Chains A and B, each alone.
Chain A
């Protein structure tokens, strides 16, 4: 057992003397009656036993040899340099950079992160990060809230868990939510037009959407703007580096899940919510923002800024209660984006796109498998099969392959990225063939 405390018994005695009490228990005098008699926890363990315990737990999870599942969590190659740099203790063990003079490294890294997110989304400003893609989307909608309007329209092809999070966030505020139907897996422009009434303050879509499909974001943006509503886009970062920018589609707020940018799958977290928006909406952004300024001698300096929006200053009038965010994940993403660089981002996007299309082509060459939707996709797509999804998933699992995600009894959502090789895909196809036989 270790408590990670350095005190020797004689030091404890001497410190108690200075304080003027006889024992550690005396520090709690006057409320001894509240002490719990019997804390039902096992005794402590040595470090060796602890790591053994976790190694054993980790071994009870299955690590797949190849993964063809995305649906909000993506398997991309993570360069060694990223893990090495983000493990530096100064980054890991620091608190939020309140004291600018001794935190310039962290503040500058956030400033650079904000700059890359703004560039990626085509927007003017960004922040230090939000909890994840779903909470970022809910926050974005709330930024656009207007006094006289009380409704939001959400694409039915947002991630289902994001839809749930948004609902959780908006319900207590009495905001009405309506879903926009899909056509061929895309947000229906005719349904959108029909539902765009005067009381709609925001419309949110995902690009690419949950079904992997590329939305007609610019057309949607145009309709939304014509109705004087706010337009929110939740983007997949690689798709965003490759497709028409949200800014060009008329987005007011852009959010996304940053996990693909250098974060491992990690059973769903910690991940990274990012946000980009217009200069006009800057003061409505929730959470930490880093700005560039200078010191008295004119040297560049970075600080947490626009704090008048935040909980520690504004209390109940703050734009959000967010305090700790996902700063270390933002650092990871910043290093990843700088590592990939201008061309590398595009190369990962192109390879993911190409592998997904090859995968789709190979699967649909098999009898009894077809694409559910005709619309263009990026690196995910839905397959409709004559074989039940459960059977496909089980057969693949036996060959150490994580198949697409079951969406319906005969529907699966597949994903490919730069890490899936042609050989992996061939192996998968062989498994699928076997089931047929």
Chain B
């Protein structure tokens, strides 16, 4: 498809401004841009057709099943969008005087209190823009805590080898050394390996529970004990909260600090890669280090209170992705306590149902009951007929299903990681399972043909090697 630049016609313009009703001001020429912009020149209809065509070459949750593991692609309620689009929210300036912002501040305060209740934490910051940004912020809190307690030698973050890649990367951004520890065959923490790894240099263990294989680590209290006894802190990666939200609270499991992904667990849309929102919750011991400002309440008046002397500072220009917060609060208000708990259980039911239907046909990584997601492997298929997880994913695309996460977690070869979420019906799951089993037969019958997928999309498999070796990252007109 042509780019918007190739649709440009000199002299066209969609934007029309009123006549300037004040004298035109001229800057001295040496300050001015040395070359004109090469932005597209299009009419409004050109623009509308272009982006409508692009939207038809995209696929969202509203289009169909999207079992992308670890991403919790649940339905994004339209009500939440309407709430976030109210002019009383979109039209307010972040630096208005606080007495003119009481609705917004109350909203943030309410959301913070509810997230604190759901996570079992004492205090919440809503500032981080995404999950990884939340991780980053939480690690700053951990760092500040240890420094304040006279322990600058605590410079290591322990991460299981099944962890999300953002964990070690966020640790590195805080100058921490990552210590990878092996997981057991079910992705759970190897207690002996953990005991051997902790010590006077341990700052924290970063752990998601349920883990990335979809298994709830039942030893969590023991794990917390080991880490705490060594003087370290326990960090909860909230990416996998969905099947336990409202049922089991990270705070009760022994975690000291958590990040949440409002764009996963709390139903706000992913927008093709953000904006998300990654609030961080912590126990009272870590609260003094939280970034400021935090919304506080006194006698029914809400205020933005700056961070205290021990605060790590601030991690965003303003207060966080406010419109995303509105959508998450709308979700919590709609579901309420019982709805949240039921949604969590149905997320686990859907994953277990799919796993039960598929596990006789693929090696499942664990035959136990899973939580929100499960992992099956194409390793056997690869050995037998050379069909890989990638091939399988591409075949699913042709059948109108978004593929699961592939090649993750790293501890499973040829992994396919499915997370159906609770908003999918039994019919959708059955249809997906039927399709997967059909594809399995096709793969075995004619592997060569199978490797041609996808064939029904606007493009076939792209040449990613050339893309990385000779990067073309911006449009250049053919003539230049």
Are B339 and A301 in contact, CB atoms less than 8 angstroms apart?
no
CB–CB A397/B97 < 8 A: yes
- Tell me which residues across on chain B come within 8 A of A91, comparing CB atoms: 55, 58, 60, 271-272
B264-275 CB mask vs A (1 if < 8 Å, else 0) is 000101111111
Using a CB-CB cutoff of 8 Å, which residues 164-189 of chain B contact chain A?
Answer: 165-175, 178
Which of A147-155, A236-244, A427-435 is the contact stretch? A236-244
A51 CB–B CB distance under 8 Å: yes
Smallest beta-carbon distance B402→chain A, Å: 7
A54-B56 contact, Cβ under 8 Å, with A60-B103, A269-B321, A291-B473: no
Known interface pairs A165-B313, A301-B462. Does A20 touch B37 (Cβ–Cβ under 8 Å)? no
Contact in complex: A345, B17 (CB < 8 Å): no
User: Are A422 and B22 in contact (CB-based, < 8 A)?
Assistant: yes
Residues of A within 8 A of B107 (CB): 54, 57
- In this complex, the member of B79, B323, B459 whose beta carbon has the largest number of chain A beta carbons within 10 angstroms is B459
**B479 in the interface, Cβ–Cβ < 8 Å?**
no
Q: B300 CB to closest chain A CB, in angstroms?
A: 11
| B425 on the A face (CB < 8 A) | yes
Scoring A168, A269, A312 by chain B CB atoms within 10 A of each residue's CB, the highest score goes to A269
In angstroms, Cα B89 to Cα A59, docked, is: 9
Q: 19 A-B Cβ contacts within 8 A?
A: A4-B74, A24-B349, A34-B252, A59-B103, A93-B61, A94-B58, A99-B393, A104-B57, A104-B459, A109-B272, A111-B474, A270-B129, A295-B461, A305-B468, A311-B132, A324-B275, A328-B273, A348-B15, A358-B22
| Docked pose: A112 CA to B276 CA in angstroms | 22
Contact indicator B168/A315 (Cβ below 8 Å): yes
Residues of B contacting A186 in the complex (Cβ-Cβ under 8 angstroms): none
Q: With A50-B79, A165-B317 known to touch, is A108 a contact of B1 (CB < 8 Å)?
A: yes
B169, B174, B315, B471: residue with the most chain A Cβ atoms closer than 10 Å: B169
Q: Is the CB of B468 within 8 A of A291?
A: yes
Contacts of B136 in A (CB 8 A): 321
A44 near B335: Cβ-Cβ < 8 Å: yes
A81 within 8 A of B: yes
Tell me whether B57 and A19 are in contact (CB under 8 A). Answer: no
A225 to chain B, nearest CB (A): 18
Q: Is B87 an interface residue (CB 8 A)?
A: yes
Chain A residues positioned under 8 Å from B356 (CB to CB): 18-20
Q: Are A132 and B316 in contact (CB under 8 A)?
A: yes
The answer to whether B132 and A321 have CB atoms under 8 Å apart is yes
- The CA of A372 and the CA of B333, in the complex, are separated in Å by 49
State whether B274 touches A58 (Cβ < 8 A). no
User: B86 near A338 (CB under 8 angstroms)?
Assistant: no
Give me the 8 closest cross-chain CB pairs, A-B, nearest first: A268-B318, A58-B88, A44-B336, A328-B271, A93-B60, A60-B103, A327-B273, A268-B94
Q: Which of A15, A173, A264, A271 has the most CB of B within 10 A?
A: A15
Of the residues B75, B221, B317, contact of A268 by C-beta under 8 Å:
B317
- Would you give the shortest CB distance from A396 to chain B, in whole angstroms? 11
Measured in the bound complex, the distance between the Cα atoms of B475 and A124 in whole Å is 10
CB-defined interface of B27-38 with A at 8 Å, one 1/0 digit per residue?
A: 110111111111
Contact A93 B334 (CB under 8 A): no
* Whole-angstrom CA separation of A310 from B168 in the bound complex: 11
Pick the contact of B248: A36, A174, A421, A425 (CB < 8 A): A36
Residues of the B chain whose Cβ atoms lie less than 8 Å from the Cβ of A344 = 13-15, 17
Stretch with Cβ within 8 A of A (4 or more), from B190-198, B227-235, B340-348, B442-450: B340-348
Closest residue of B by beta carbon distance from A96:
B273
Query: Which residues of A lie under 8 Å from residue B36 when comparing CB positions?
Result: 342
| Nearest CB of A to B472, in Å | 4
Q: Does B21 contact A (CB under 8 A)?
A: yes
Residues of A within 8 A of B336 (CB): 1, 41-45
Interface string of B421-457 (1 = CB under 8 A from A): 0111110000000000000000000000000001001
Stretch at the interface among A195-203, A349-357, A380-388: A349-357
Complex contacts, A55 vs chain B, CB 8 Å: 86, 88
A205, chain B: closest CB distance, angstroms: 15
B272 near A339 with CB under 8 A, answer no
Q: Mark B317-341, 1 if CB is under 8 A from A, else 0.
A: 1111111101000101111111111
Q: Pick the contact of B87: A41, A63, A115 (CB < 8 A).
A: A63
Question: Smallest CB–CB gap between B229 and chain A, Å?
Answer: 20
B467 shortest CB reach to chain A, Å: 4
Complex: how many Å from CA A25 to CA B472?
A: 52
Nearest-neighbour CB distance to chain A for B436, whole angstroms, equals: 15
Contacts of A69 in B (CB 8 A): 93, 95-96
Give Cα A335–Cα B32 distance, bound, in whole angstroms.
25
Chain A residue at minimal CB-CB distance from B471 = A291
Could you say which of B91, B130, B175 has the most chain A C-beta atoms within 10 Å of its C-beta? B91
Which chain B residue lies CB-closest to A350?
A: B24
Check if A179 is an interface residue, CB within 8 A of chain B.
no
User: Which residues in A have their C-beta under 8 angstroms from that of B58?
Assistant: 90-91, 94, 97, 102-106
Q: What residue in chain B is nearest A23 (Cβ atoms)?
A: B345
Q: For the complex, what is the distance from the CA of A40 to the CA of B246, rounded to whole Å? A: 9
Residues B275 and A2 in contact, CB atoms below 8 Å apart: no
A265 close to B168 (CB less than 8 A)? no
Known: A104-B459, A119-B37, A293-B472. A168 touches B140 (CB 8 A): yes
Asked whether B474 lies within 8 Å of A126 as measured between CB atoms, the reply is yes
CB contact under 8 A between A294 and B129, given known A39-B341, A327-B272:
no
A269-B316, A324-B263, A357-B25 known; A129-B274 Cβ under 8 A: yes
Distance in angstroms between the alpha carbons of A54 and B104 in the assembled complex: 10
Interface: B385 (CB within 8 A): no
**Closest chain A residue to B410, Cβ basis:** A315
Given A316-B172, A327-B273: A39 touches B22 (CB 8 Å cut-off)? no
B contact residues around A292 at 8 Å (CB): 467, 472-473
**Complex Cα gap A4–B4 (Å):** 38
Task: Check A289 for interface membership: any CB of B closer than 8 A.
Answer: yes
Q: Name B80's closest neighbour in chain A (CB-CB).
A: A50
A341 to B42, CA, bound (A): 7
Does A194 reach chain B (CB closer than 8 Å)? no
A-facing residues in B128-149 (Cβ within 8 Å): 129-133, 135-136, 140, 143
Q: Looking at the complex, which one of B22, B106, B276, B313 makes contact with A167 (CB distance below 8 Å)? A: B313
A315 touches B169 (CB 8 A): yes
Complex interface: chain B residues within 8 A of A3 (CB): 335, 339, 342-343, 346, 422
Rounded to whole Å, the gap between the CB of A82 and the closest CB of chain B is 9
A338: which B residues are within 8 A, CB to CB? 4, 14, 39-40, 42, 47, 50
Minimum distance in angstroms from B219 CB to a CB of chain A = 10
Instruction: Report Cα–Cα, A337/B15, bound state, in Å.
Output: 10
Q: What is the distance, in angstroms, from B179's C-beta to the closest C-beta of chain A?
A: 10
Q: Are B37 and A345 in contact (CB under 8 A)?
A: yes
CA distance A24 to B17 in the complex (A): 59
Decide: A295 and B460 in contact? CB cutoff 8 A.
Answer: yes
- Contact at B402–A99, with CB atoms within 8 Å? yes
B150 within 8 Å of A by Cβ?
Answer: no
Task: Identify the closest chain B residue to A171 (Cβ).
Answer: B313
Q: Which residue of B lies closest to A270 (CB)?
A: B275
Answer whether residue B364 sits at the interface, using C-beta atoms and an 8 A cutoff: no
B342 contacts A5, C-beta separation under 8 Å: yes
User: What 1/0 mask marks residues of chain B from 57 to 68 whose CB sits below 8 Å from any chain A CB?
Assistant: 111111100101
